[in-house]
Amino acid sequence: LVHCPFLVLQTKGDLVAGKEASVIVEFTNPLKQTLENVMLRLEGPGMLRTIKKQFGRIPMNSTLTWEVKFFPMRPGLRKLIASLNSDALRHVYGELNVQIQKP
């Protein structure tokens, strides 16, 4: 039984409108093989425009960490969504609800 892997998203520090923030996306390869042609995508409607990053390969059991800096512009509840595609694994998702504070 292979349970569906997922992406873990976490933010660093307080998220305040107009100030730089950062989000970290983590993924551990659960397969008994190296993942090839790994493409990560991050979106945060109202916070950041979609960013894609090519990672090439992730050996089995190794963890990929990607930190993205962004500037949330408006306070309120937002959602960060990440997805990963590769040759062997497709449509791996993670999401995180974040509260942007008023400055």
**pLDDT tens for each residue of 12-24:** 989 999 999 999 9
pLDDT one-digit tens code per residue, 67-101: 999 999 999 999 999 999 999 998 899 999 999 99
Q: Is residue 20 part of a domain?
A: yes
As for how many domains the chain has, the answer is 1
Are 51 and 25 a contacting pair, CB within 8 Å? Answer: no
Q: Is residue 28 part of a domain?
A: yes
Tokens coding 97 = 């609800």
Q: Is residue 81 part of a domain?
A: yes
Q: Is residue 57 part of a domain?
A: yes
Q: Is residue 2 part of a domain?
A: no
CA distance linking residue 72 with residue 91, whole number of Å: 26
Give the pLDDT band of residue 3 (cuts 50, 70, 90). Answer: low
CATH number of 66's domain:
2.60.40.10
Q: Is residue 102 part of a domain?
A: no
Q: In what order do the strands lie in the sheet with 63-70?
A: 8-12, 21-28, 63-70
pLDDT one-digit tens code per residue, 27-74: 999 999 999 999 999 999 988 999 999 998 999 999 999 999 999 999
CB neighbour burial string for 81-95, b if at least 16 within 10 angstroms, e if fewer: bbbbebeebeebebe
Torsion angle, alpha carbons of 72, 73, 74, 79, to 10: -30
Domain that holds residue 26: 8-37+51-95
Q: Is residue 65 part of a domain?
A: yes
Q: Is residue 100 part of a domain?
A: no
- Token pair 């190794």: residue: 62
- Token pair 């042609």: residue: 37
